[in-house]
Amino acid sequence: MWKTLGCTNQDFDGERIDGMGKGHSSFCRDIWQLTKEYWWSEEKWQARGLLAVNLALTLGHVYILVLINEWYNTFYNALQNYDKDAFWQALGEFCLLAAIYIIIAVYELYLQQMLEIRWRRWLTYRYLDNWLYKRTYYIMQLLDPGTDNPDQRISEDLRLFTAYTLRLSLGLLKAVVTLVSFVAILWRLSGPLHIPFGAWQLTIPGYLVWAALAYAIIGTWLTVKIGRPLVNLNFDQQRFEADFRFSLVRLREHGESIAFYGGERQEQANFVQRFRHVFANFWQLMQRQKQLTWFTSGYFQLAIIFPILVASPRYFAGQIQLGGLMQISSAFGRVQDSLSWIIDRFSQLAEWQAVVNRLVGFINNMERVRHICLNEAGVRIRPSEGATFTAVGLNVCLPDGRQLIQPLALELRRGDSLLVVGPSGCGKSTLLRTFAGLWPFGQGEIRIPQGQRVLFVPQKSYLPIGTLREALLYPKSPGSVSDAAIREAMDLCRLEGFKDQLDRVEDWSHILSLGEQQRVAFVRVLLQKPDWLFLDEATSALDEPTERALYKLLRERLPQTTIVSVGHRNTLSSHHRKKLAIDDSGNWSILNL
Ligand SMILES: Nc1ncnc2c1ncn2[C@@H]1O[C@H](COP(=O)(O)OP(=O)(O)OP(=O)(O)O)[C@@H](O)[C@H]1O
């Protein structure tokens, strides 16, 4: 049954990472998918304007480099010719060029960073919207365990993506323009090379250009070959680091429970185990980077003397002066720099590709789980026509397709109260999740009255870190209810001891007892006044008199509210009019109390 519905988490195996082997066209498609929306968004004019200024500065940068290269010729010739006037004039020119260069360099970085952070802000909000939309964050946990650490993707990967995309694409542009400009200069300075072959003579025009091209292309090819495994290694490194960090955060979150159990040894073993992955992967990364560094540093050292070596025959033949030799050396360096740009950036390109894979995988999987839930979920939630809550042929299953509860038919009217009972693990909480539209596994239909307030209260309610007022009103905003109303609800729910602490900022889940946290949930109920209230063992940590008082309060204050409670205690029966009993095999019956 579940296979035809497609509603099982076995449909997902996470995104596949093929690294460089993924294919350039699909990589470009991925980049385009991530990039296009911002440049056509409501921020497009600011973004495009900033990009245009960045492009102009990049081109200006290259132009200044060309002028400085020309300056080499003048300056070294002045030195060689002992020409003092030309020397001072060249120094003056240099000061001017250097001043312009500094201004361009400062604003190039500043405006690029401005564009980076604006783009990151836009993408972060978009990813957050997507992640929170229609409870995608929760459904992903059920349907798509392959998407690891979404938090890291939103905080870290988006930062890297915007930084790399801008730096690498502007860097590429600079490299191409520099290459074209300096190849032209090198060609002009180079002259032909004559190689004698017995009676014949081989003439290579512009031989310095060919030497620079050959040097850089061979170097680039070797670097790509050596550095290719870095793509997957970087991807894994990010994942292992995030897993390790997350396990540390869990210790902090569950510190008390772990301390009661004395689970430090177990936790330590868990940390060590996770850190082993970090270590082992980093070790491989190191080895690979070592190989790459052997190569690249040798390559760059050789690049210092290589141009002088190849241009020296013309110098010693008296065809060029010292200024020409120095200009050749500088131009050769620029050609080689821009061609071997990929060498310098290889590990960044690898990481960039890993980041793009992760982000595209994340956004596609978010869309996929939402699509499945909207179109293929077995349990459909529809608005009901009257003021009744109805479940029709509701078949609740586990993610692997096993049936939990036999097809259920249920009708609840305004003011009704239903207690759901059954042995532990029979599916009571899962039934409430299904009512809330959080559980897509199964079949059937739920009809919920439209435009009415529905509130689900779990055994342990979420308490945000912040003021007690925020915790009491969650998810409403702090200004939405008066302090007088909050204090009155606190009195009624026996939280009067905290009335003067509404502004205290704390992690309240670590301060309030479980019973107090359950009373906070009842304050929320009184303040939010839902029409339909679902309570999942919401009074399990309270003593019986307090439980009785709170249910009495609900009846007095919210007489029209329909209450569905899940619980094990016999005392709960007296607060409800109907009982839904479920057994271990998923059979059910409804009794009047
Ligand atoms: N995300 C999940 N993936 C797989 N199985 C799950 C998941 N969530 C719950 N289950 C299983 O579904 C079954 C029903 O769980 P549920 O929490 O609904 O039981 P319950 O009747 O509320 O139990 P209790 O009375 O102990 O709270 C259990 O066997 C549980 O292990």
DSSP symbols for 77-115: HHHHTT-HHHHHHHHHHHHHHHHHHHHHHHHHHHHHHHH
Domain coordinates in residue numbering, the chain: 24-375, 380-592
Tell how strand 417-421 and strand 562-566 pair up: parallel
Interval between CA 396 and ligand 1 midpoint (Å): 11
More confident residue, 193 or 78: 78
> Looking at the predicted structure, is the pLDDT value of residue 12 above 80?
no
Nearest residue (by CA) to ligand 1, atom 7, is 398
Q: Whose CA is nearest to atom 20 of ligand 1?
A: 425
CA distance 53 to 71: 27
Residue 538 has pLDDT above 60, yes or no: yes
Atom 31 in ligand 1: residue holding the nearest Cα: 425
Mean pLDDT of 409-433: 91
Work out whether the CA dihedral 489, 493, 498, 501 comes out positive or negative: negative
The pTM for the full model equals 0.74
Closest C-alpha to 552, from 469, 472, 474, 494: 494
Tell me how far CA of residue 207 lies from CA of 182, 196, 202, 484, in angstroms. 14, 15, 11, 87
Distance CA 556, CA 415 (A): 11
Q: How do residues 299-322 score in pLDDT, each as one tens digit?
A: 888 888 888 898 888 888 888 888
pLDDT of residue 347: 67
Residues 401 and 407: beta-carbon distance below 8 Å: no
**Hey, is 202 helix, strand or coil?**
strand
CA–CA separation, 502 vs 518, rounded Å?
17
394-405: average pLDDT: 87
- Across-strand partners of 592? 578
User: 24-375 with 380-592: one CATH topology?
Assistant: no
Q: Which CATH architecture has domain 24-375?
A: Up-down Bundle (1.20)
Percentage of residues of the chain with pLDDT beyond 70: 94
> In this structure, are residues 290 and 347 in contact, taking their beta carbons and an 8 Å threshold?
no
Cβ–ligand 1 distance for 425 under 6 Å, the answer: yes
Q: pLDDT tens across 548-573, in order? A: 999 999 999 999 999 999 988 888 88
pLDDT attached to residue 252: 83
160-181 per-position pLDDT tens digit:
999 999 999 999 899 889 989 9
> From the alpha carbon of 566, which atom of ligand 1 is closest?
22
Task: Determine the Cα–Cα distance for residues 50 and 38; give it in Å rounded to an integer.
Answer: 13
Q: Check pocket membership of 60 for ligand 1, CB cut-off 6 A.
A: no
pLDDT tens, position by position, 17-34:
333 345 566 888 888 888
Give the strand pairing for 532-536 and 389-397: unpaired
Q: Kindly report the protein residue whose alpha carbon is nearest to atom 28 of ligand 1.
A: 425
498 pLDDT band (50/70/90 cuts)? Answer: very high
Are the C-beta atoms of 442 and 400 separated by less than 8 Å? no
**511 C-alpha vs ligand 1 centroid, how far in Å?**
28
Task: Report which ligand 1 atom has the smallest distance to the Cα of 537.
Answer: 27
From the CA of 10, how far away is ligand 1's center (Å)? 18
**Residue 146 pLDDT grade (very low, low, confident, very high; cuts 50, 70, 90):** low
Closest residue (by CA) to atom 8 of ligand 1? 430
145 or 362, greater pLDDT: 362
> What value of ipTM does the predicted structure carry?
0.96
Decide yes or no: CATH 3.30.1330.10 for domain 380-592: no
pLDDT tens string 430-443: 999 888 888 888 88
